Amino acid sequence: MNITEHLNQQLQGRRPGFSLEQIFYADPAVYAHDLDILRQRWFCAGHVSDLPQRGDYITTQLGPDSAIVVRGPNGEVRAFHNVCRHRGSRICLEAQGHAALLVCPYHAWSYDLEGKLKAARQMPETFDASDYSLKPVALKIIEGVIFLSFANQPVDFTLAAPALKNMFGAYGWADAKVAHRALYAVDANWKLAMENYHECYHCTPSHQEFSRLHTLAKPKAQRSESEHILLASAPDCGIEVAEFEAWPVEPDTEELVRVIRSSLYDGTVTGSADGQPVAPLMGDIKAYDGGCSFAELGYLSSFLAYADHGLIYRFIPRGVQRTEIEVIWLVSNDAVEGKDYDLEKLIWLWHVTSLADKKIIEMNQAGVNSSAYEPGPYSLMESGTELYIERYANELAKALKAA
Ligand code: FES
Ligand SMILES: [Fe+2]
């Protein structure tokens, strides 16, 4: 039996409502299929405030692919494959930088900020530079948040875009700026990181700091009426966010998206050590509403908006059992560090929470790797994770059939 047949058999035999067999978290062949699946989808690459001037760029990776996202001469943002059209070298090597021309470090072919090849030495007369522009990468910007897909024909974003626009817009993210970013390297398969992020079953035992503030840490049945919130929106406070969920039957054709509202405990207005404000209110928000909003896009991007700051979570698969989680903190564009916000206070909650997540995801992988591991049942508080794993299993089954 070859590996494809074996994986097919494992998928067909799997128990719904249970975590995956070890092989899906450990095998290079599965990981290769995973990257193919992820390549078809969209993921968040960052925020446009990282590119204030023309020539500012960021790079971002997914498996073997790398993109340059750069602000062009007229202020527009474009994305290109970070692959030189000469013999294929990476062009930009840094995560972030500034350049008037994108110059390949190998033989110095040079591209303008619109991706056009401007200089290539010693080429034959028949050479036409216009045949060798950088290849574009699909890009969407929603209220300042950058989304990319490495597919030639990415899955449909039609359902996801307005839901995200509504949430990011309500919090003024188009006029936000990156206050801080941190990278947490996690020795685990990307699916274990994703599974962890989509359930709050672990919040009470693993995140005391989060659980003191967020009612999400409690089972639904134990929340009081006021805590139950799915706080409809809070128009009096200037925050109108519609909850939204799109779980297409065919997850490989349409992007998955979910936006939920959630309440904080009484007296808590934001995600900070004491639940008190840590930065000026964002966008047009007039007052704290005692809640927050979560969003998820596809498998790799999650978002959390408080009234005074926001968070972007980027899950970056780096290897079969290696994942980076990048956390980006957003504040209002005109907030000044040291005056309007204290960086340590701003990042405290999600720094301690992310460190704890790193630890538990790695523990999870260690146990999954052992000979005694077998798939276990998801609890009632892990329904989000279960949904993602079901969709993933469907998608992988399709990919294997096509292989
Ligand atoms: S590979 Fe880029 S200039 Fe040669
Ligand atoms: Fe967590």
CATH at residue 101: 2.102.10.10
Closest to 284 (Cα-Cα) out of 332, 325, 242, 247: 332
Instruction: State the Cα–Cα distance between residues 138 and 153, nearest whole angstrom.
Output: 8
> Do residues 138 and 170 lie in contact, with contact meaning Cβ atoms separated by under 8 Å?
no
Angle ∠(253,259,260) on CA atoms, nearest 5: 145
Residue 87 CB less than 6 A away from ligand 1: yes
Note whether residue 227 is domain-resident.
Answer: yes
Angle ∠(194,363,302) on CA atoms, nearest 5: 20
Q: Do 109 and 183 have their domain in common? A: no
Note whether residue 37 is domain-resident.
Answer: no
pLDDT of residue 265: 87
Looking at the 3D structure of the chain, how many domains does it have?
2
Residues with Cβ within 8 Å of residue 103, at least 6 apart in sequence:
91, 109, 110, 111
Q: Do 178 and 323 have their domain in common? A: yes
Note whether residue 149 is domain-resident.
Answer: no
pLDDT of residue 1: 81
Sign (positive/negative) of CA torsion 244, 246, 247, 252? negative
Residue 85 Cα: closest atom of ligand 1: 2
Phi, psi angles (nearest 5°) of residue 184 = -110, 115
Q: Do 204 and 298 have their domain in common? A: yes
In the chain, which stretches have pLDDT less than 70?
221, 224-233, 248-251
Q: Do 298 and 373 have their domain in common? A: yes
Residues with Cβ within 8 Å of residue 105, at least 6 apart in sequence:
89, 90, 91, 93
Q: Considering only CA atoms, which residue is closest to atom 4 of ligand 1? A: 107
In the sheet with 291-297, reading across from the earlier edge strand, the strands are 176-186, 322-332, 310-319, 301-305, 291-297, 257-263, 244-246
Note whether residue 13 is domain-resident.
Answer: no
Note whether residue 151 is domain-resident.
Answer: no
Closest to 255 (Cα-Cα) out of 24, 37, 36, 46: 37
pLDDT of residue 251: 59
What residues flank ion ligand 2 with Cβ within 5 A? 357
Residue 87 Cα: closest atom of ligand 1: 1
Domain-terminating residue out of 106, 139, 172: 139
- Looking at all shown ligands, the one closest to residue 86's CA atom is 1
Sign (positive/negative) of CA torsion 196, 200, 201, 203? positive
Q: Do 113 and 210 have their domain in common? A: no
- Looking at all shown ligands, the one closest to residue 361's CA atom is 2
Q: Do 119 and 170 have their domain in common? A: no
CATH code at position 168: 3.90.380.10
Q: Do 217 and 328 have their domain in common? A: yes
Residue 104 CB less than 6 A away from ligand 1: yes
Q: State which of 84, 118, 122, 135 you would mutate to test the pocket of ligand 1, scoring each by most atoms of that ligand within 8 A of its C-beta.
A: 84
Angle between helical axes of 383-402 and 28-39 (0-180°, round to 10): 100
> Do residues 69 and 46 lie in contact, with contact meaning Cβ atoms separated by under 8 Å?
yes
Phi, psi angles (nearest 5°) of residue 345 = -70, -40
Domain-terminating residue out of 104, 139, 174: 139
Sign (positive/negative) of CA torsion 205, 206, 212, 216? negative
Domain range for 50: 43-139
Q: Do 222 and 335 have their domain in common? A: yes
User: For residue 80, what are the β-bridge partners?
Assistant: 68, 136
pLDDT of residue 307: 96
Note whether residue 250 is domain-resident.
Answer: yes
Mean pLDDT of the chain: 94
Note whether residue 352 is domain-resident.
Answer: yes
Instruction: State the Cα–Cα distance between residues 347 and 304, nearest whole angstrom.
Output: 13
Q: Do 195 and 263 have their domain in common? A: yes
Q: What is the pTM for the complete model shown?
A: 0.95
* pLDDT single digits (tens) 304-346: 999 999 999 999 999 999 999 999 999 999 999 999 999 999 9
- Looking at all shown ligands, the one closest to residue 110's CA atom is 1
Note whether residue 81 is domain-resident.
Answer: yes
Instruction: Compute the chain's Rg from CA coordinates.
Output: 22
Q: Do 172 and 108 have their domain in common? A: no
Q: Do 168 and 128 have their domain in common? A: no
CB atoms near residue 244 (< 10 Å): 17
Q: Do 75 and 166 have their domain in common? A: no
Q: State which of 109, 117, 122 you would mutate to test the pocket of ligand 1, scoring each by most atoms of that ligand within 8 A of its C-beta.
A: 109
- Looking at all shown ligands, the one closest to residue 202's CA atom is 2
> Do residues 95 and 85 lie in contact, with contact meaning Cβ atoms separated by under 8 Å?
no
Q: State which of 83, 104, 121, 123 you would mutate to test the pocket of ligand 1, scoring each by most atoms of that ligand within 8 A of its C-beta.
A: 104
Instruction: State the Cα–Cα distance between residues 71 and 53, nearest whole angstrom.
Output: 7
Sign (positive/negative) of CA torsion 230, 157, 323, 21? positive
